[in-house]
Amino acid sequence: MEQVMTNSLGFPILSTLVFLPVAGAAFLLLIPRSEEKLIKWFTLAMSVITFVISLPLFTRFDKTTHVMQFVERHAWIPAWNINYSLGIDGISILFVLLSTLVIILCVLISWNSIKTKVKEFYISLLIIEGAMIGVFCALDFFLFYIFWEAMLIPMYLLIGVWGGPNRVYAAVKFFLYTLVGSVLMLVGIIVLYLYAGRTFDIVELSTKMYPYDMQLWLFWAFFAAFAVKVPMFPVHTWLPDAHTEAPTAGSVILAAVLIKMGAYGFLRFSLPILPEASKAMTPAMLILSVIAIIYGGIICLAQTDLKRLIAYSSVSHMGFVTLGIFALNIQGMEGGILQMVNHGIVTGALFLSVGVIYDRTHTRQIADYGGVASVMPLYASLFIVFTLAAIGLPSTNGFVGEFLIILGGFTANQWAGVLAATGIIIGAGYMLWLYQRVFFMETNQKVAGLSDMDGREIMALLPMVILIFWIGVYPDTFLGFMHKSVEHLIVRVNTGGVSGPAIARNIIEVIR
């Protein structure tokens, strides 16, 4: 088994991050429903404290090694060799930090918009925060699966209870899609457990050799779960419905964190555990990624609903992510990981922005807007920042991620790189056209008397603006975390496992 680092901080920081929000949710049960203000302030305090506790991960992380850090390991179910094991590396650390930040913003943006079952809403937010952090920290496959499934319940409630008119349909569709994929992943986990000598240890499983046929079967079992979560074409249809019907906080969590877990699954499990199958399936993954990029962008041009347009843009942007990951080179993979973070920041900010204006107008139809810039100039200024970041303007975070992905895509397959680049042009078209229709044109009567953003809403959006320019101007702050982990993963993919049939290698060569 590969060596892992001990906890250099001397206390269980990852367990604290996972269970502090859950403990906060349990405490909320004791607060009377009538004390809505206390419930909101307590939830905000818990989310801020969790974020502050996560900051030592950023400052104390050792960027010179690929091994797991801040590790916690305890026997849990010895009879089945199941351990309570947590740790992070350069691939997972940024998503832990993003998760703790996003929940603060969700609390702020929901302050006045949630009118019913306020107590249950904030309990759901805190539970989902703990589950999200657990997914990115788990080093035991059994524990990972528990956190993975635990996210379903609070997100189902966020959509189904506090969503729009078609919330029940959207919630059930989200639940069924993700549950079916997760069941197939569970079968794959059990097969790995039995074959690898009855161990669920993710690090140990990533160092073993597996027969090619077994790798190929397991790849598709994991693909069923991860592709739905991304979501990849053609299993993406749950996402627009979920985004459209979810409350603003639900859409932000979906866009910023939850759909990143599918791509994270490819990085943490498919590539290191199933390297030969991953290489053999690279052509198919590149094709699906390019289809998602172009298809998602074209569909955006036809949308009339603000949230639905941004939801389909996520399909396109996550196509860039999977393209970068399965380029199987350092530039593409680092670009893909960074773009996961970028997409969480930018698309999360766009959904936050939609929530700001929806609270005032109670409509998401683009045709109901026009001339918003004349009545909400500060809002228009922030929205153009998010728009330009979404289309990858230089000096914004979107540019860095897309540049690295396209560079890696060209290296892996020139056609994939060319077709992906057209997605950037399409993206510029639908985002700038959206901005023109909403903020310029003739002022619509429905927006004539709107007030500009207040201090709470500015506080919810300002961190995103800072991160957009921080990553865009000095990306090495964030790329530096992942260098060693990505290098190690690339080596594993290129050298690990048993060689597959010659026909698989020939397919790769022909497409390249």
pLDDT of residue 442: 77
Judged against a pLDDT cut of 50, whether residue 61 lies above it is answered with yes
Note the residue count of the chain: 512
pLDDT of residue 506: 35
pLDDT of residue 70: 93
Domain map of the chain by residue range?
13-511
DSSP-based three-state secondary structure for 85: strand
Cis previous bond, 240, omega within 30: no
Q: Using 50, 70 and 90 to split pLDDT, how confident is the model at 276?
A: very high
Judged against a pLDDT cut of 50, whether residue 302 lies above it is answered with yes
Distance CA 427, CA 420 (A): 11
Question: Which tokens hold the place of 8?
Answer: 């250099």
Judged against a pLDDT cut of 60, whether residue 1 lies above it is answered with no
pLDDT of residue 165: 86
Alpha carbon dihedral 71, 77, 80, 84, in 10-degree steps, equals -20
pLDDT tens for residues 362-406? 888 898 888 888 889 999 999 999 999 999 899 999 899 999 999
pLDDT tens for residues 17-53? 999 999 999 999 999 988 989 999 999 999 999 999 9
As a whole number, mean pLDDT of residues 210-235 equals 90
Q: Using 50, 70 and 90 to split pLDDT, how confident is the model at 444?
A: confident
Using only C-alpha atoms, the chain has a radius of gyration, in whole angstroms, of 22
Considering the chain, what percentage of its residues have pLDDT values greater than 70? 95
Q: Using 50, 70 and 90 to split pLDDT, how confident is the model at 2?
A: very low
Q: Cβ(22)–Cβ(89) under 8 Å?
A: no
Closest C-alpha to 421, from 278, 271, 297, 268 = 297
One-letter amino acid for residue 331 of the chain:
Q
- Classify each residue of 308-332 as buried b or exposed e, where b means 16 or more C-beta atoms within 10 Å of its C-beta: bbbbbbbbbbbbbbbbbbbbbbbbb
Q: What angle do CA 223, 246, 384 make, to 5 degrees?
A: 95
Considering the chain, what percentage of its residues have pLDDT values greater than 90? 62
CB atoms within 10 A of CB 420: 26
Question: Which tokens hold the place of 367?
Answer: 């045709």
Which residue in the block uniquely carries the two structure tokens 């843009």? 313
Judged against a pLDDT cut of 90, whether residue 235 lies above it is answered with no
The sign of the torsion formed by the CA atoms of 20, 257, 351, 181 equals negative
Distance, C-alpha 1 to centroid of its chain: 29
DSSP-based three-state secondary structure for 278: helix
Question: Which tokens hold the place of 42?
Answer: 């307590």
pLDDT of residue 511: 34
Average pLDDT across the chain, whole number:
89
DSSP-based three-state secondary structure for 16: helix
Judged against a pLDDT cut of 50, whether residue 499 lies above it is answered with no
Judged against a pLDDT cut of 80, whether residue 505 lies above it is answered with no
One-letter amino acid for residue 60 of the chain:
R
pLDDT of residue 4: 52
Judged against a pLDDT cut of 50, whether residue 464 lies above it is answered with yes
CA-to-CA separations, 72 to 131, 140, 321, 482, 484, in angstroms, rounded? 17, 11, 30, 21, 21
Contacts of 106 (CB under 8 A, 6+ apart): 125, 248, 249, 252, 253
E runs forming strands in 133-197: none
Judged against a pLDDT cut of 60, whether residue 324 lies above it is answered with yes
Residue 75's DSSP bridge partners are 83
Q: Cβ(402)–Cβ(339) under 8 Å?
A: yes
Q: Using 50, 70 and 90 to split pLDDT, how confident is the model at 208?
A: confident
pLDDT tens for residues 96-147? 999 999 999 999 999 988 888 999 999 999 999 999 999 999 999 999 999 9
pLDDT of residue 5: 56
